[in-house]
Amino acid sequence: MKNIKAILLSSVIGISTMSMISCTKDLAEINKNPNAPEQVPSYTVFNGANRYLMNFTRDGWWMARMSMPWMQYSAQNNYVEEDKYQYRDAQTSNGWVYLYRSANSYKDIILMCENPETSSAMMAYGDLDNQIAISRIMLAYTFDNLVTHFGPVPYWSYGERENPKFQALNVEEYPLAAYATEEEIYADLLKELKAAAAQIKVNESGFTDGDNIYGGDAAKWKKFANSLRLRIANRIKHKFSGANAEIQDAIASGVFTSNADNAIHAFGATDVEGNPLWQTFYAGTPRTDFWPGRTFVRLLKGETSNFGFDPRLYKVAAPKGLTFLAYNATGYTNSTNMDDYIGVPNALPRVETYYQAATNINFFSKEVLSATRGEVLMEYSEVLFILSEINNWSQTHYVNAVRANMERLNVPAASINTFVANLPAANAKNVLTQKYVTLFSNPDEGWNEYRRTGYPDTDVLLMPGETAVRPHDGSTYVFTPLQSGNVVATDIPARVRYPVTQQTLNGVNWKAAVGLLGADEIDKKLYFAR
């Protein structure tokens, strides 16, 4: 009955990995499968959870149809509704379940490492304390993703597992989990990351296998915990009284100090192992709906803002004039003619035939649409941007942040030197606009930053009500958002709506959470928003 109950309630808070693969005692006696393992190695659960998390947050539904087009890194040529904020409820409903399933898997690892009946076997896969600490870090990363998308959500914490406010991931005791407030979640995320970093033994192994982020390097996981704490504390510093102390403590405890510390999930070259955005284009039924957005292309070309030509343009977009067949078969050579880089106009009034022809627009670069491209959870460049901000817009940290991102992308050294030598002086607008450029590799965080700071501003972004130009013929149109839920947004969405299943299956707690927000709509600002 335990498993049946967990599966039935999967729409409420997700499915536990261990629940899915284990049997009840009675059924195990009757239906024992000789080919199925009775004890799953912790590293396989960890590998599966990380891959599941990336597959369903960096794919053609969650990322490519929301944060990427909303922040105008990309645009669609076949479906323009999502670019104008009218996303499909299935996108966020599925994302909710996927995130909670990943969280359940990290919790399962912790339980396997703590349970005397299984812990001795788990010791073969890495130091137990380190396995627990690393799982806590990924739990924090996952719940941060949830709270920045939705606002108040059901929450679970290793360090506060007995806290009656944190009811998620425990369907036996709390089949209909209450929602924790955003402030409660953020406060505990900071506690969890600090405690997890302290728990790590840097001279012992992390996971001996299955770690496609750091390859079992416990010292790097410790730096990631501190850097993630720095990110979260900086995000909420204008609302959370203890944030500045957390910022200083995270820095003192050891954050990223080079690109060697970057938290990047690696992928393989096969259809099964490839990058999730690459899979969208190439695996199964290909979807060539997503293209570099005109807004972002214009910024990199130097047509907007005051940075001049940015060589990262070549790392984002291929020149126009390519068919899909030619793009894949023969590749391409970067062009010095900027007319070859136009991008798909953002927020078009309708699907337009001209922009459906691949030869008229720009494919993403081969670097972006690569099976083996790693997905960035956090990189050194972001740490440097934060250091610039907290040090009164430090020029040195700002310049080094841009350089670090360019070096990670393998921009030629001469091009890097030219660009950083001509960077305009550090201030809020310049630093945060350059941070936006680097967050192309992590568009959800780019969205977080816009909601926190308002940058990049309308000098870069096309905003609702503004007039835009079609590059091929000079005609104009007005960015007119579509109704999403019950509102027509006048700004980039402030959040996404809760899954419909929360209203029907967990209505009392859903209503309480909505009461905190004011309404379950995309224009309701979250805790950290400006």
Q: Is residue 214 assigned to a domain?
A: yes
What would the pLDDT profile of 77-105 be if each residue is shown by its tens digit? 999 999 999 999 999 999 999 999 999 99
Check pLDDT > 70 for residue 333: yes
Residue 286's pLDDT band (cuts 50, 70, 90) = confident
| pLDDT value for 31 | 52
| Residue 519 placed within a domain | no
* 124 and 236 assigned to the same domain: yes
The mean pLDDT of the chain is 93
39 — pLDDT class (breaks 50, 70, 90): confident
Residues contacting residue 123 through CB under 8 Å, at least 6 positions apart: none
CATH number at residue 221: 1.25.40.390
Check whether residue 201 and residue 319 sit in a common domain. Answer: no
Between CA 450 and CA 71 the distance in angstroms is 8
- Per the CB < 8 A criterion, the answer to whether 65 and 91 are in contact is yes
What is the per-residue pLDDT across 353-381, written as a single tens digit (0 to 9) for each?
999 999 999 999 999 999 999 999 999 99
302 shares its domain with 256: no
In a domain, 103, yes or no: yes
- Give the C-alpha separation, 142 to 441, whole Å: 17
Angle subtended by helix axes 294-301 and 428-438, to nearest 10: 120
pLDDT at 298: 98
**Res 179 pLDDT > 80:** yes
Q: Are 274 and 372 in contact (CB under 8 A)?
A: yes
CA 276 to CA 47: how far, in whole Å? 15
DSSP-assigned beta bridge partners for residue 75: 291
In a domain, 496, yes or no: no
Lowest mean pLDDT among 6-20, 200-214, 283-297, 475-489: 6-20
Total number of domains constituting the chain: 2
Residue 123 is classified by DSSP as: G
Q: What is the mean pLDDT of residues 209-217?
A: 98
Domain limits for position 393 = 298-373+380-441+454-478
- Residue 192 sits in the same domain as residue 340: no
Burial of 37 (0-12, 13-18, 19+ CB in 10 A): exposed
User: Residue 21 — left, alpha, or beta (φ > 0 → left; ψ -120 to 50 → alpha)?
Assistant: alpha
pLDDT value at residue 33? 53
Q: Among 265, 290, 306, which residue terminates a domain?
A: 265
CB-based contacts of 507: which residues, under 8 Å, 6+ apart? none
What backbone torsions phi and psi does residue 324 show, to the nearest 5 degrees?
-60, -35
Does 447 map to a domain? no
**143 pLDDT more than 80:** yes
Residue 515: how many CB atoms within 10 A of its CB? 11
Q: Is the pLDDT assigned to residue 271 strictly greater than 70?
A: yes
Domain edge (last residue) among 223, 246, 265: 265
Question: Which of 217, 243, 265 is at the close of a domain?
Answer: 265
Q: Is residue 503 part of a domain?
A: no
- State how far the Cα of 112 lies from the Cα of 75, in Å rounded to an integer: 44
Instruction: Work out the end-to-end distance of the chain between its first and last CA atoms, rounded to an integer number of angstroms.
Output: 47
Which pLDDT value is given to residue 67?
Answer: 98
Asked whether residue 308 is assigned to any structural domain, the reply reads yes
Are residue 88 and residue 194 in the same domain, yes or no?
A: yes
Task: Please tell me the predicted confidence (pLDDT) of residue 32.
Answer: 53
Same domain, 234 and 305: no
Distance of CA 407 to the CA centre of its chain: 22
| 242 and 323 within one domain | no
Does residue 182 fall inside a structural domain? yes
Percent of the chain at pLDDT above 90? 90
Judge whether residue 206 has pLDDT over 80. Answer: yes
Over 60: is that where the pLDDT of 34 sits?
A: no
Q: Say whether both 343 and 225 belong to one domain.
A: no
**Per-residue pLDDT at 140 exceeds 50:** yes
Is there a single domain that holds both residue 236 and residue 311?
no
pLDDT at 363: 97
Angle at 447 between CA 443 and CA 448, to 5 degrees: 115
Single-letter residue type at 404: A
Calpha distance 254→221 (Å, rounded): 11
Using CA atoms, how far apart are residues 89 and 2, in angstroms rounded to an integer? 29
CA distance 416 to 164: 52
Q: Does one domain contain both 332 and 236?
A: no
CA angle 340, 346, 348 (to 5 degrees): 110
Cα gap 438→446, rounded to integer Å = 9
Inform me whether the pLDDT recorded for 44 exceeds 60. yes
Compute the average pLDDT of residues 432-437: 98
pLDDT of residue 38: 64
DSSP 197-208: HHH--TTS-S-S
Query: Are 258 and 321 part of one and the same domain?
Result: no
pLDDT-derived band at 19, boundaries 50, 70, 90: very low
* Over residues 140-163, mean pLDDT: 98
The Cα–Cα gap between 197 and 512 comes to 34
Q: Are residues 246 and 304 in the same domain?
A: no
The mean per-residue pLDDT over the stretch 310-335 comes to: 95
